[in-house]
Amino acid sequence: MKVFRKIWRFLWKLGIWFLILSVGFTVLYRFVPVPVTPLMVIRLFEQTFDSEKKVKLSKDWVPMAEISKNAPQAVVAAEDQKFLDHHGFDFEAMKKAWEGNQKGKNIKGASTITQQTVKNVFLWPDRSYLRKGLEAYFTVLVELIWPKERILEVYLNVIEMGNGIYGIEAAAQNYYNKPAAKLNRNEAAMIAAVLPNPIRWNPKKPTPYIIGRQAWILKQMNNLAPIGFGI
């Protein structure tokens, strides 16, 4: 019995500390730029031990006030058109994805911008039930503590946008030799077009598929009401 009590005590303390740290960091990142993400660290290790890859970490945090309004409009159009309306989860998209998986189809689009932000800031790339459970927990936490503009600001600053390239400022500088504040609609849509697989696709060398995806995103940007964030 003593062993079980000790295990229970340990798990209780672990749970309390997890709650304190998770809420604490979520509150902190509500106001402070995220310095590094687990994915950035993982990619650095991959580059270090891969002789064919150059070690690269290009990131530069910029506030929403220094990001072109075309960038948030493009990523919302491409990744999560219900972003301003949901509370972190798009249940309709999740249902379609589940039904598609049951039929052997790979349906994309169930992961919201909030979920993608949480995955990048707090977690690691994995498909385990543990990771999914933590993702749901942090998604609720972030939606409770951060306003939508902050979620989108963090997303635009930490998301992987190329090999060793993180955030919209680094992407704008690397691909178009300009700051994120100067991105036009076509450039923002092209960057958004590669987000599903930024390691495979490059905005400077778009495939026919990416050019078609860019055209679709531009159309969606026109159809969506202005997001209202950015300059």
Distance, in Å, from the CA atom of 43 to the CA atom of 49, rounded to the nearest integer, reads 10
Per-residue pLDDT, 203: 96
Per-residue pLDDT, 103: 62
Distance, in Å, from the CA atom of 61 to the CA atom of 174, rounded to the nearest integer, reads 14
Per-residue pLDDT, 94: 73
Domain spans, the chain: 35-223
Per-residue pLDDT, 4: 75
**What kind of architecture, by CATH, is found in domain 35-223?**
Orthogonal Bundle (1.10)
> How many CB atoms are closer than 10 A to CB 127?
6
pLDDT digits (tens, 9 = 90+) for 31-88: 999 999 999 999 998 888 876 677 788 999 999 999 999 999 999 999 999 999 999 8
Q: In what order do the strands lie in the sheet with 160-162?
A: 58-59, 165-166, 160-162
Per-residue pLDDT, 131: 92
Per-residue pLDDT, 109: 52
* 17-52 CB burial, b ≥16 within 10 A, e <16: eeeeeeeebbeebeeeebeebebbeebeeebeeeee
Contact call for residues 99 and 216 (beta carbons, < 8 A): no
Nearest to 81 by CA among 187, 199, 227: 227
Concatenate the DSSP letters of all residues of the chain into one string.
Answer: -HHHHHHHHHHHHHHHHHHHHHHHHHHHHTTS-----HHHHHHHHHHHT-TTS----EE----GGGS-THHHHHHHHHH-TTTTTSSS--HHHHHHHHHHHHTT------S-HHHHHHHHHH--S---HHHHHHHHHHHHHHHHHS-HHHHHHHHHHHSEEETTEESHHHHHHHHHSS-GGG--HHHHHHHHHTTT-TTT--TTS--HHHHHHHHHHHHHHHHSPP-----
> How many CB atoms are closer than 10 A to CB 85?
9
For the chain (231 residues), the mean pLDDT of every run of 10, in chain order, is: 78 91 96 96 87 81 97 97 91 72 60 96 89 95 97 98 96 97 98 95 96 98 93 88
Instruction: Look up the pTM and report it.
Output: 0.91
